[in-house]
């Protein structure tokens, strides 16, 4: 068994690819353009700062789909909350008002990383069926709030 660490390229370099050689863009645009884009980017290493990568991705995404509402979801463990919040704030301050933050903090205690199985997460990290249902309900409610304002 190898102890080699798998290194993936940053999201802003690969989000627009189906595979290593096939772009999902047509003349630089997502076609058809989506109405909504949801991202729950995180890493399995909460010590890595993803702010700059997240901002670069948001800029590239906006170039590829100028009208889509973009919802940046803080992962349910709360990891990278500050970075996602900073990236959304940076884009809003740059004039992009169709980038929204969805914070899953109300469910964070139900995941309790590293403390074993919970009703929300069969291993304390990855959502159970019930956990996914709660995440979906909260994300839907928060999305509706953002779109209603």
Tens-place pLDDT, residues 131-140: 999 999 999 9
The candidate with the shortest Cα–Cα distance to 90, out of 33, 35, 50, is: 50
* Homologous superfamily (CATH) for 11-148: SGNH hydrolase (3.40.50.1110)
Q: Which residues of 2-32 are buried (b: 16+ CB within 10 A; e: fewer)?
A: eeeeeeeeebbeebbeeeeeeeeeeeeebee
Are 88 and 62 a contacting pair, CB within 8 Å? no
Segments making up each domain of the chain, as ranges: 11-148
Q: For the CA atoms of 103, 58, 131, 118, what is the dihedral angle to 10 degrees?
A: -80
Instruction: Show pLDDT as tens, one digit a residue, over the chain (149 residues).
Output: 556 666 667 778 888 988 888 999 999 999 999 999 999 876 666 678 889 999 999 999 999 999 999 999 998 877 788 999 999 999 999 999 999 999 988 888 887 766 788 888 888 778 899 999 999 999 999 999 999 98
Three-point CA angle 36, 87, 66, nearest 5°: 35
Q: What is the pLDDT of residue 45?
A: 66
Check residue 50 and give its pLDDT: 87
Which tens digits make up the pLDDT trace of 58-68? 999 999 999 99
Per-residue pLDDT, 5? 61
Residue 148: half-sphere exposure toward Cβ, Cα within 13 Å: 6
β-sheet bridge partners, residue 131: none
Encode 134-144: b = buried (16+ Cβ within 10 Å), e = exposed. Answer: bbeebbeebbe
Contacts of 67 (CB under 8 A, 6+ apart): 33, 35, 98
Specify the pLDDT at position 19: 87
């Amino acid at each position: 068994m190898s102890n080699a660490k798998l290194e993936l390229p940053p999201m802003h370099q690969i989000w627009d690819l189906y595979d290593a050689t096939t772009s999902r863009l047509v003349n630089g645009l997502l076609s058809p353009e989506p109405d909504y884009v949801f991202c729950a980017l995180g890493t399995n290493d909460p010590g890595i700062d993803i702010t700059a990568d997240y901002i670069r991705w948001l800029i590239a995404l906006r170039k590829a789909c100028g009208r889509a509402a973009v919802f940046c979801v803080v992962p349910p463990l709360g990891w990278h909350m500050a970075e996602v919040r900073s990236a959304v704030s940076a884009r809003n301050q740059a004039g992009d008002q169709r980038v929204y933050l969805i914070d899953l903090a109300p469910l964070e205690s139900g995941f309790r990383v590293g403390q074993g199985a919970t009703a929300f997460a069969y291993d304390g990290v990855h959502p159970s069926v019930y956990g996914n249902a709660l995440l979906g309900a909260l994300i839907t409610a928060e999305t509706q709030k953002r779109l209603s304002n």
